[in-house]
Amino acid sequence: AKQRGKAAYVRFVSGMAQPVTAHMRLGGELRRALENREFEVFYQPIMDLGTNKLVGTEALVRWNHPERGLVSPGEFVPAAERTGLIMELGRYVLREACRQTAAWLAEFGPDAPRHVAVNVSARQLHDPGFVGDVRDALGDTGLTPDHLVLELTESAVLRGNQVSRALHDLDGAGVRLALDDFGTGESSLSLLRAFPAAIVKLDKSFVDGLEFDEVDPARRDARQAVARAVIQLAGALGLEAVAEGIENEAQAEQLRALGYVYGQGYHLAMPMSAGKMTDLLTEQRRA
Ligand code: C2E
Ligand code: CA
Ligand code: CA
Ligand code: CA
């Protein structure tokens, strides 16, 4: 997703006179979009692979661009990170995800998603006010910390040392931390010792081609080995493992066989607006 995002951003700015100008233009556009409330939080269900029940959601930001329609985060999150606008955007997503999840819990009780997972950029994590922002978002929306998961990438956690303090503060407050895109970094294993993670998310790149593939069995076997190592490690350390990017039943089947309980992907459910999710929860309650 990161790679695709970069490419898409280049596409977006290409055709403009100079990269610097384009960068500034996109920065200005993002600020305007924030003021015009053009950002919307979508939710992708995280499912129990055994029961096919919804257990939680991941909050994924979208940009409702007046001319371009729905723009995916790969096209603007990198720019928001560079310009620093990610701070404000991140606070908005966090607050909105907490508010919406608290509302679902109030309306649907035990049938509501039990948690919402919010993506956190390195830059947010390094801001000294971040832990305070999280506490405020929870306090103001009435969501209790056990319903919030923060998804962090290895690179975000690795850079800087005041981060460790922030992570332990959040963990102490009862917020759960997930290591996102697990297995793609260089120090996944050593990081887990120092990091109070509760969840690891097996990166989509290890789920791709996990199903039976006669064309390239060696690559399939390598992915299977990583997927198996991650679930075993999670078990040994008492962590939950979530497999992301499940696109077909054969992959889900493989993951179940390896011991995965939780999964996320287009095959299970697409990211959707809050309104769509509310419809889904209403249907499920009737069923
Ligand atoms: P991510 O955290 O790895 O999120 C998962 C991405 O995979 C999402 O893309 C999701 O729509 C997509 N996805 C889910 N299931 C499947 C599948 O079965 N197949 C495929 N091909 N893709 C699947 P999305 O929504 O475009 O987000 C891209 C990235 O943008 C995210 O990757 C995350 O790094 C970032 N992002 C999204 N929302 C936020 C946010 O609020 N804050 C920050 N800092 N980053 C965000
Ligand atoms: Ca994520
Ligand atoms: Ca991920
Ligand atoms: Ca990913």
Instruction: Please tell me whether the interface predicted TM-score (ipTM) of this complex is above 0.90.
Output: yes
Probe ligand 1: pick from 43, 87, 119, max atoms within 8 Å of CB?
A: 119
Given this model, what pLDDT does residue 115 score? 98
Amino acid at 65: H
- Which residue is it, tokens 């049938």? 111
Given this model, what pLDDT does residue 286 score? 77
Given this model, what pLDDT does residue 170 score? 96
Segments in the chain forming alpha helices (H): 2-13, 19-35, 77-83, 86-108, 122-125, 130-141, 154-158, 162-172, 188-194, 204-207, 217-237, 249-258, 274-286
Q: Which two tokens stand for residue 48?
A: 């129990």
Which ligand sits closest to the CA of 207?
1
Sorting pLDDT into bands at 50, 70 and 90, what band is 1?
Answer: very low
Q: Exposed e or buried b for every residue in 74-92, given b needs 16+ CB within 10 A?
A: bbbbbbbbebebbbebbbb
Residues with CB under 5 A from ligand 3 (ion): 180-181, 244
List pLDDT tens digits, range 22-47: 666 788 899 999 999 999 999 999 99
Sorting pLDDT into bands at 50, 70 and 90, what band is 11?
Answer: very low
Cα of 181 from ligand 3 centre, angstroms: 5
Above 80 in pLDDT, residue 145? yes
Probe ligand 1: pick from 38, 41, 47, 60, max atoms within 8 Å of CB?
A: 60
252 neighbors 49 (Cβ within 8 angstroms): yes
Q: Which two tokens stand for residue 267?
A: 């095959």
Pairing of strands 148-153, 176-182: parallel
**Pick from 168, 173, 169, 116: which is nearest to 147 by CA?**
116
Q: Atom 19 of ligand 1 has which residue's CA nearest to it?
A: 245
Q: Is 265 in the pocket of ligand 1 (CB under 6 A)?
A: yes
Q: Atom 32 of ligand 1 has which residue's CA nearest to it?
A: 1
Mean pLDDT score across all residues of the chain: 89
Amino acid at 146: D
Cα of 2 from ligand 1 centre, angstroms: 9
Coil, strand or helix: which one is 117? strand
Q: Is 93 exposed, middle or buried (0-12, 13-18, 19+ CB in 10 A)?
A: buried
Q: Which two tokens stand for residue 259?
A: 């011991």
DSSP 8-state symbol, 212: -
- Higher local confidence (pLDDT), 189 or 167: 167
